[in-house]
Amino acid sequence: MRRRIIATGILLAAPLAAQEDVALRAGIGMGSIVGNGGESITVPTVGVDFGFPLGSGLSLRPGVSYARMGTDVRYYAGGLEWTGSRSIDYVQTSWLLARPRIIGSGRLSLGVQAGPWLGIKVSCDNSGTFGPGLCEGADPGAEVTDYGLMGRLGLSHGITDDVRVSIDALYQVGLKDVIDYPPPEIGITVEGKEYTRLLAFQLGVVLKT
């Protein structure tokens, strides 16, 4: 895991000399693994991203964040209640193209960001009906990486010339099947593909550098 975090830092370090600002964000959201039923789980979200001006009102915002995806299941069979939960924690890197001001005046503005992200699994937990296999390797096992698209819509207000605060809505979709099931056998039902989703609301502080 240490090597993965170091690699993430290298990806972000190269353009730091040109950065315009740094943003610290934290909030709460609903993380899920969709495809085979179950309910989303409530998760914390934290991250940091950097702004690099591109001109024409656009900027590039590479960032690093922590995200948890999971599923809670509850059903009844044979007069008994069965429950299960699973979660996968990721350290994510993202590269978002941003327009900080699509509408607004003075210190108040509404901005939008969108782009790709890559997640690296750092931990996994499961219990109940999901069994131990998910976090212990293959058959089935949680994939080491995930990737997809991310979008953020944020309302920000400049409290000074160098400090802004923001309220952001974040949504990201995973494009990779994150659970590796064994090849199907005769008489065995093939499991559907499962993808991650995250909807979160965050508070942010943006500091000019």
* CATH number, domain with residue 78: 2.40.160.20
- How confident is the model at residue 90, as a pLDDT? 96
3-state SS string for the chain: CHHHHHHHHHHHHCCHHHCCEEEEEEEEEEEEEECCCCECEEEEEEEEEEEEEEECCEEEEEEEEEEEEEEEEEEEECCEEEEEEEEEEEEEEEEEEEEEEEEEECCEEEEEEEEEEEEEEEEEEEEECCCHHHHCCCCCEECCEEEEEEEEEEEEEECCCCEEEEEEEEEEEECCCCEECCCCCCCCCCCCCCEEEEEEEEEEEEEEC
- pLDDT for the residue numbered 134: 67
pLDDT at 2 over 70: no
Query: Residue 124's domain spans which residues?
Result: 2-208
More confident residue, 101 or 12: 101
Res 17 pLDDT > 60: no
What's the number of domains the chain is made of? 1
